[in-house]
Amino acid sequence: MSENIHICSLSKKENSGFPKLPPNASCGSRFIRRLRKFVAINPNNARCKTYFRNRSGLITEAKKYAASPYFFVIHPFSNCHAFLEVTFFVAWLYSLFLSPLVVFYPVPNSDTLHDKVEYYFVLNVQRLLVISFFFTGYVDKKSQNIIIEPKKIILRYLRTYFIFDLIATGSVTSPVEEYVQKNYAEYFYFSVKSAEYFLIVLCYYVRFNTVTNYMTDIFQILKLPRRIQSILGHVLRTYLILHLFTCMLYGIPRALYNDHWPEESWLTKTRPRPEDGTILPKYLDCLMVASCYFFGASHDLYNVDLPNEQLCLSIVTLFGRLYTLFLLADLLRVFGIAQVAESNYEQELCCLEEYMTSKNLPEKLRKRLRNFYEYKLRRRLFNEREIFSTLSEHLRTELFLFSARKLIQRLFVFRSVPKPVVSSLISLMKMEIYSPREIIIKMGTTVENVSFISSGTVSVINQEGTELCHLEDADEFGIISSVTDDKQIYQIEAVEPTEIIYINKQYFLNILHNYGDVLAKMDEMVKQRLARLMKIQEHIKKGGSNIISDLRNGNLLERFHKRPLIVIE
């Protein structure tokens, strides 16, 4: 077990944000609760680890969603959203592969197995997905906020992919096709059918980025190594692009020639010829030509003389050159072959690696340093001290006030004094980041600071080394020893990456000297917290479990509990 992982000894709490059901709850209530949890945020979702900096932020988001009136909105980090991602990936991947292949069939409107599967199953699934997108939350890329308001979700979908999804699923083109088939000649119907086919394929490929993003999310759910994810992702992307160009090399000439192939066409020199019914040899031949022109390999088997075919191959070559450069650059980055960093953040990480190697640090300590850098810098490098030095005193205070807005809103001290006093307190505060299992305050030491948790979780540990409770966002510690002038009687340890804002004890008391009622309230809070911690400690000494506590916690009637058998003679 890694040293920087906190092993919690406290009972596991419900993190869904929904109130716990009574033991005698009906089956309907239990089903509704499970359904709500299915569309709510899942704390174990793979994307939560990259989005939230700590677990306390995740729990806050879960409570926010549970308290919102938008119970019908699917959270972007929910199990339901993960299921929709997998369904979308499979359905769109099926269409991205098979829809372009229609050009290779001898008769465009032939009743194939693909047509039946697509018409009776795939299209209906895709239409249900289109409807679900009106109720699916998303993460705003600019602000990095989670959006669950229905109005914003609907407007965003209408502005982006709705029209393309509507056309791709045949909701618009099918009625038009039926109307043309009834009222116009067969030749015109064939032209409309060909145009409809090209439009549908393009609309499917508009979602190419979404498919690859969902593929990455699925790989994260499967917990594949990063390099394996990169290789599989590039293989699938490359093949889908080549597949589109393969079908384009055959489909565009076929539409132009209307199945009357000229002898000068390179496709007439293939075996079998275009007019033959075999699909696989034609597809493989076109795939080989597309791959050669795409990657710039030599291909002298066929001479391309017709202008429209030359234009198609020129497009393939141009796009292939650009894509190959991107592919090589990304592979070099992933496998660490290229030593040139893409950003200042990566340069800083390279310096960190060199430093750790020169000092011959153990792997556990190296991992802690990497996690600290990733948490603090958020993959962005900036000189915070230099930025602050260029700001005025007023702007620095405003910036710190914004960073500490959660504390100001929730803490009694900040809510009970005027704004100038709050500004004075904030201006004297400093920030520190602690890694998991890092000791913030040692037991028996004299605490000189009053600390507040900006984000994260810390544990309170007694003299016996027993974990008593957790403190989370906007909780304070150090006040017990600061107010009573006693030494610290509990050890404070970080559970996860935690941001602490602290102020010198003497400065804190001097600023609040004229607010006796606030200090009296703080003294009362200290006594209440001490009493609560002592009660927990006594409870643990007695065995940590009894019938009354189990009944209050809902454990006695909701799950089996082994107890010693009492025999009365």
Distance CA 460, CA 469 (A): 6
What are the b/e assignments for 328-362, b being 16+ CB within 10 Å?
eeeeeebeeeeeeeeeebeeebeeeeeebeeeeee
Quick one: average pLDDT of 150-166?
A: 94
Would you say residue 218 has pLDDT above 80? yes
pLDDT interval class at 566 (50, 70, 90): very low
Per-residue pLDDT, 470: 86
**Both tokens assigned to 56:** 């306390």
- Which residues pair with residue 78 across a beta bridge? 41
Per-residue pLDDT, 240: 93
Q: Say if CB 77 and CB 115 are below 8 A apart.
A: no
Q: What is the per-residue pLDDT across 223-236, written as a single tens digit (0 to 9) for each?
A: 888 888 888 999 99
Among residues of the chain, what percentage have pLDDT more than 70?
A: 76
What would the DSSP string read from start to end of 137-206? -EE-TTT-PEE--HHHHHHHHHHTTHHHHHHHTTTTHHHHHHHHHHHS-HHHHHHHHHHHHHHHHHHHHH
Task: Look at residues 205, 209, 73 and name the one whose alpha carbon lies nearest to residue 141.
Answer: 209
Quick one: average pLDDT of 299-309?
A: 77
User: Average pLDDT, whole number, for the chain?
Assistant: 79
Residue bearing the bigger pLDDT, 80 or 548: 80
pLDDT interval class at 8 (50, 70, 90): low
* Cα end-to-end span (Å), the chain: 50
448 phi/psi in degrees, rounded to 5: -100, -5
Delimit the domains of the chain by residue range.
23-223, 226-338, 344-382, 386-553
Per-residue pLDDT, 479: 72
CATH no. of 386-553: 2.60.120.10
Q: Say if CB 418 and CB 400 are below 8 A apart.
A: no
Quick one: average pLDDT of 246-252?
A: 86
Distance CA 555, CA 551 (A): 6
pTM (global) more than 0.85: no
Q: Of how many residues is the chain composed?
A: 569
Would you say residue 565 has pLDDT above 50? no
Quick one: average pLDDT of 545-554?
A: 53
Per-residue pLDDT, 150: 94
Quick one: average pLDDT of 412-423?
A: 83
Residue bearing the bigger pLDDT, 105 or 367: 367
Q: What is the per-residue pLDDT across 479-517, written as a single tens digit (0 to 9) for each?
A: 765 555 567 788 899 888 888 888 888 888 888 888 888
Q: 3-state secondary structure string, 326-394?
A: HHHHHHHHHCCCCCCCCCHHHHHHHHHHHHHHHCCCCHHHHHHHHHHHHHHHCCCCCCHHHHHHHCCHH
What's 274's DSSP letter? T
